[in-house]
Amino acid sequence: MPMPSPGMTAMRYCFTYVLLDERWAFSYSRRRDLLRETEKATRRRGCAPSAPNAGPLRYLFLWLAGVDLRLTLLALPPILPMVRADLHLNEKAVAALTGLPVLLLAAAAIPGSMLIARLGARRALIIGLLAVALSSGLRGVGPSTTLLFAMTFFMGMGIAVVQPAVPTLINEWLSRSVGLATAVYTNGLLVGEALSAALTIPLVLPLVGGNWELSLVWWAVPVMLSTGAIARWAPPLVDHVAANGIRSWMPDWRDPSTWVLGMVQGGGSSVYFAANAFIPGYLHATGHAGLVGPCLTALNVGQLPATVVVAVAARQLIGRRVPLVAAGVLSAVALAIFLSGSTLGLVIGAAMFGFCAAVILILTLALPPLLAPAGGVHRLSAGMFTIGYAYAFLLPMIGGAAWDASGLPVSAFTPVALGALTVVIAGSAHRLLPRTVRPA
């Protein structure tokens, strides 16, 4: 009998653990039965189940989830010139194709929260990652403009489901190490960005004969495999719905924390998205075209040290206003250095953009598990993502409009200045941390 392929094995695990009742999926294992009995006992006592030896695996699953969210998303920009030529896309279509996932991160965050409330964060994570893998791979069927946009839409929906699920998983799996767990997850996001952006042209395209459609399929394979691993080995969660009889999923728009966290996250994301969008055009317009590569590399590589800094000093940084305000001020300083015009200033400023944006992202991602009550993390996270990514989608448009209206390249960085100002103002709000925050 032929051995099943890794992809088919991963698919089998995904469907087994998502679509079948867990009592059936785990009935073959006495160890799982014993674990379930232990969980029931801990639920009756009102506490989460413990698994002292599962810590490293849980960190690994969070890191893989982060990698998966960016691996397919950032696989498109390197091949975008080929896609544009083959499908005869104009600039508006290209902008829509690249901006659609970001818009969906805002638009689909609340439906993602509803899915988490109905199925639980673990199942929502698996379903979201499965949607990302399948839709990303199907983008390569064609070439077809309609299919490409449709599958990009579903991929963005999958990502939007996963994002509010992760803070809930951090709260359940690693509630005593929220800061470190968030830094590990964010490191996965950044590594996923770097892998697909750096390896698509020199490695993947030659392996698939220069076919951009197959390169999209290629990057979907590791997502499918890691989803199978998560479905097979990720530990179950406490069912707060069953315990409390509550199926709440809509964010509490009257809660100031929802708005403040959303504005802080949106301001930090605006710094990164605007810098990523306008640095190439600005450098071309100011006679520094040769620095496009170094500056974009500095922007993205500059994010990685932020994960190390926050992981090492999580208890000193997370849940405090001063680090957020300092990151906003440092973003403004980075803008001044970047606009100084010197070669060194351009590269250093770009690296500082990346570092500050990553610090703000990690610090805000860590707050919902610390602020929200058990069973409510997904609601606060969904509200934060809805506000934050909508703000980060709209603010860079101001930069483009300002450049078009004034003809001054420097005006394109208006969103960076506004994003930094937003972080400083929202981060210093007295209502940022209205509840008692447990240690990170």
pLDDT digits (tens, 9 = 90+) for 238-288: 654 544 444 688 899 998 889 999 999 999 999 998 888 888 889 988 999
- CA atoms of 335 and 329, how far apart (whole Å): 10
Q: Is the pLDDT of residue 219 over 80?
A: yes
The mean of the pLDDT values for the chain is 82
pLDDT digits (tens, 9 = 90+) for 104-125: 888 889 998 999 888 889 999 9
Percent of all residues in the chain with a pLDDT value above 90, rounded to a whole number: 45
Greatest CA span in the chain, whole angstroms? 70
CA angle 22, 124, 190 (to 5 degrees): 130
Question: What's the pLDDT band for 231 if we cut at 50, 70, 90?
Answer: very high
Rounded average pLDDT over 47-52: 42
- Which pLDDT score is estimated for 433? 56
Stronger pLDDT, 146 or 30, i.e. the higher one: 146
Q: Is the pLDDT of residue 330 over 90?
A: yes
Least confident of 236-250, 294-308, 363-377, 408-422: 236-250
Question: What's the pLDDT band for 440 if we cut at 50, 70, 90?
Answer: low
Question: What's the pLDDT band for 328 if we cut at 50, 70, 90?
Answer: very high
CB under 8 Å to 265, separation ≥6 — which residues? 360, 361, 364, 365, 384, 385, 387, 388, 389, 392
CA angle 112, 140, 19 (to 5 degrees): 40
Q: Both tokens of residue 162?
A: 């996963």
- CA atoms of 136 and 159, how far apart (whole Å): 11
Range ranked top by mean pLDDT from 10-14, 43-47, 251-255 = 251-255
- Which pLDDT score is estimated for 439? 53
Rounded average pLDDT over 164-181: 90
- Which pLDDT score is estimated for 238? 60
- Which pLDDT score is estimated for 170? 92
Cβ(427)–Cβ(266) below 8 Å: no
Stronger pLDDT, 177 or 359, i.e. the higher one: 359
Rounded average pLDDT over 374-383: 87
- CA atoms of 115 and 143, how far apart (whole Å): 32
State how far the alpha carbon of 102 is from the alpha carbons of 48, 178, 224, 269, in Å.
Answer: 34, 25, 22, 10
State how far the alpha carbon of 361 is from the alpha carbons of 161, 266, 267, 329, 389, in Å.
Answer: 18, 9, 10, 15, 12
CB under 8 Å to 160, separation ≥6 — which residues? 104, 105, 106, 107, 108, 109, 111, 112, 128, 385
Rounded average pLDDT over 30-47: 40
Question: What's the pLDDT band for 205 if we cut at 50, 70, 90?
Answer: very high
- Which pLDDT score is estimated for 264? 96
Question: What's the pLDDT band for 319 if we cut at 50, 70, 90?
Answer: confident
Give the pTM: 0.78
- Which pLDDT score is estimated for 345? 95
The 3-class SS string of the chain reads CCCCCHHHHHHHHHHHHHHCCHHHHCCCCHHHHHHHHHHHHHHHCCCCCCCCCCHHHHHHHHHHHHHHHHHCHHHCHHHHHHHHHHHCCCHHHHHHHHHHHHHHHHHCHHHHHHHHHHHCHHHHHHHHHHHHHHHHHHCCCCCCHHHHHHHHHHHHHHHHHHHHHHHHHHHHHCCCCHHHHHHHHHHHHHHHHHHHHHHHHHHHHHHCCCCHHHHHHHHHHHHHHHHHHHHHHCCCCCCHHHHHCCCCCCCCCCCHHHHHHHHHHHHHHHHHHHHHHHHHHHHHHCCCHHHHHHHHHHHHHCCHHHHHHHHHCHHHHCCCHHHHHHHHHHHHHHHHHHCCCCHHHHHHHHHHHHHHHHHHHHHHHCHHHHHCCCCCHHHHHHHHHHHHHHHHHHHHHHHHHHHHHHCCHHHHHHHHHHHHHHHHHHHCCCCCCCCCCCCC
Q: Which of 384, 402, 403, 381 has its CA nearest to residue 392?
A: 384
- CA atoms of 203 and 78, how far apart (whole Å): 12
Q: Which domains does the chain have, with CATH numbers?
A: 6-44+55-237 (1.20.1250.20), 256-427 (1.20.1250.20)
- CA atoms of 76 and 83, how far apart (whole Å): 9
Q: Both tokens of residue 241?
A: 């719905």
